[in-house]
Amino acid sequence: MRARVSWTLVLAVFLAFPRFQRDRIEEMGFGEIFRIERMRVDSALTQALRSRWDAEATTFVFPWGHMIPSLEDVSRITGLRVYGKPVSGFTYPCYHDLAERLLELPVERRSSLVLRVALQASLELHEAGKSAGESEDEYLERLVRVSQRELASEPGAEADMDLRCFLVLFLGRLLFATRGDAVHCRFLPLLEDLSEVGGYAWGVAFLAHQFDSLGASEQQTSTSGFFPFLQVWAYLHLPALGRGDLTRPGLVPIARCWDSSRDSRNLGDQLERLQEAIDSYTYLDSFRGLHDTTDCRERAKEQIDNWEHRGKAVKSDSTTDDAYLQAYALKYGGKVYKSARHQDREAAQRQTAELRRELERVRSTGEGGASSSRAAGGSPSLLEAQLAGAVLRAEEAQRHLEEQGQRDQLQGEVRATRSERDQLRIRAEAVEAQVAEATKELAALRQAVARSLQQIVTDIGRSRSRSRSGASVSRATGTSVGQYLAGSSSRRRNEEEERCRQGEESAQSGRGGGEMPPPRDRQEGSGESGSGH
């Protein structure tokens, strides 16, 4: 319940933030988390997984081999980034000054914890309790409405402080939750420069935290932190358990596709059924090779230098799967958890074998045994009959248990087939979504190419039009110039002819009564008139 409430509170603040704040959270790589629908906590599944955790080797130990969540699982299920700078640094003995400066929240001297109530109050979540008769949606809507009143609506120092308070709540109460009511401030130094937050590999730190949470104490029956991760991991990798409902296939991250199945049985019955289902899991051969889990675990451990719990890596020198399984059986043969029903089958087998041996011993005693029995007041034939009846009853009980196991196995196979079908449907829908996206991109590309070609044709047409206009202007200009030159030449010829005609008339008049006048150009003093006369 606490995990569910924390998830609702964090989601409410995210939804209450103005658009620019949600965009900043998206850029930090946390946006995918808040697209996941609220999921029911499956306590029985969590406890069943936890009972299989080997704290020494930091891995799940199943009858068929080791299994462990990988960084790929983190990325696909939660959408958290698994690349970037390591989430590491110094752990301060006191965060008093840092919390007052960055959060304006009180942290006691010599303490690394901020009170949850004070942190929620800074985000206007004073009344965080759910009212009687209030549905989950109504509860969430009320929290969003209340939180919106005090959150900064514009970028600035106040908005930065709101975002830091939210991130401390998100990281400390949900993603890296620890037991207890207070919230640790260990991530606060990484939040001082908000522009750097998106550069950290938060998904790697999250996986390391899951290892630490599972191995924290053998007395704990549940895990802290972001509970949908392990549940969806089991839905994907242990589908025959039938604990998840694929309700929204094709969405990302994958946690959005699933809901936890409803189970009305009490927790003890659910847990026993789950343990039995794990012991009789059908697809054991498909998990061969899962022992090679060193890389993802070592990478996670290397990323978190200051993490407290460090498990030993599962290393194997085996070169084949069979050799690995033999080594696995030698190491874990007596430690692998066996359910009550599995233990009952083994006890029935042992009891049947013992009764058969006793019956054979009685039959082999012969007359000597009969005499001894009669002396002791017993009848060998009666004892033999009693033993024979006991053997028959034990064999019948053994057959009944084996038939029950076969029925459970058949049911597991049916569940596995359905889960495989669901997974195939997920893949098919993912491919269809990719094809649809590619089709859209292709159509957009075709439109862009068509527009580009149309623009090119238009530009060419305009260029040709300008060229034709230029040629027309040139021709018109050439004609005008030619006409002007032709007109000038005609005028000069006319003037010359006029001068010649006037000269001839003067000559004719000179022959008749006077001296011929000099040419016109000489009268005007062309330069020859003053040549030394």
User: Quick check: is 332 in a domain?
Assistant: no
- Return the pLDDT at 280: 80
Region 275-289: mean pLDDT is 64
289 φ, ψ to 5°? 95, -5
d(CA 211, CA 56): 11
Q: Do residues 346 and 262 share a domain?
A: no
Average pLDDT for 450-459? 83
Q: What is the pLDDT of residue 63?
A: 83
Q: pLDDT band for position 374 (50/70/90)?
A: very low
Buried b / exposed e across 220-253, counting CB within 10 Å, b at 16+?
eeebbbbbbbbbbbbbbebbbbbbbebeebbbeb
Q: In what order do the strands lie in the sheet with 53-54?
A: 53-54, 59-62, 65-67
> Does residue 19 surpass a pLDDT of 80?
yes
For 137-164, what is each residue's pLDDT tens digit? 898 999 999 999 889 999 999 999 999 9
How far is residue 506 from each of residues 79, 313, 495, measured CA to CA in Å?
116, 134, 17
Number of domains in the chain: 2
Same domain, 155 and 193: yes
pLDDT, average across residues 99-106: 90
Dmax over CA atoms of the chain, in Å, equals: 205
Stretch among 54-58, 76-80, 476-480 having the lowest mean pLDDT: 476-480
For residues 113 and 246, state if they share a domain: yes
One DSSP character per residue, 356-424 reads HHHHHHHHHHHHHHHHHHHHTT--HHHHHHHHHHHHHHHHHHHHHHHHHHHHHHHHHHHHHHHHHHHHH
Read off the pLDDT of residues 243-281 as tens digits, 9 standing for 90 and up: 999 888 888 899 999 998 888 899 988 998 898 888 887
Helices (H), 41-90: 43-50, 71-78
pLDDT of 304 above 50: no
For the residues 403-428, what does the mean pLDDT come to? 66
In this prediction, residue 87 has a pLDDT band, given cuts at 50, 70 and 90, of very high
State the pLDDT at residue 13: 94
SS3 per residue for 463-498: HHHHHHHHHHHHHHHHHHHHHHHHHHHHHHHHHHHH
Q: What is the reported pLDDT for 232?
A: 94
Residues 350 and 285 in one domain: no
Average pLDDT over residues 457-476: 69
First to last CA, the chain: 138
Phi, psi (5° rounding) for residue 47? -70, -40
Question: Residues 347, 422: one domain?
Answer: yes
Residues 151 and 264 grouped into a single domain = yes
Is position 24 within any domain? yes
- For the cut 80, the answer to whether the pLDDT of residue 382 exceeds it is no
Q: What was the pLDDT predicted at 502?
A: 67
489 located within any domain: no
338 exposure class (CB count in 10 Å sphere: 0-12, 13-18, 19+): middle
Tell me the range of 158-172, 305-319, 417-431, 436-450 where mean pLDDT is highest: 158-172
Between residues 531 and 104, which one has the greater pLDDT? 104
Contacts (Cβ under 8 Å, ≥6 apart) of 50: 214, 220, 221, 222, 223
Place of tokens 């104490």: 217
> Based on the domain organization, do 74 and 181 belong to the same domain?
yes
CA atoms of 191 and 24, how far apart (whole Å): 13
Which two structure tokens, joined as six digits, stand for 289? Answer: 């090779």
> What pLDDT is attached to residue 189?
93
Residues spanned by the domain of 206: 7-310
State the average pLDDT over residues 348-361. Answer: 76
- Would the pLDDT of 21 be above 90? yes
**Same-domain status, 61 and 198:** yes
Cα–Cα nearest to 99, from 184, 196, 195: 184
Amino acid at 283: Y
- Give me the pLDDT at residue 481, please: 47
Confidence of residue 362 (pLDDT cuts 50, 70, 90): confident
Q: What is the H or E stretch that residue 438 is in?
A: helix 380-511
- The reply to whether 145 and 269 lie within a common domain is yes
Instruction: Give the Cα-Cα-Cα angle 338, 344, 346 (nearest 5 degrees).
Output: 75
- Assess whether pLDDT exceeds 50 at residue 514: no
Higher pLDDT, 118 or 305: 118
Instruction: State CA 254 to chain mean position distance.
Output: 7
175-222: pLDDT as tens digits: 988 777 788 888 999 999 999 999 999 999 999 999 888 877 555 555
- Provide the mean pLDDT of the chain: 76
Report if residue 334 sits inside a domain. no
| Residue 156 resides in a domain | yes
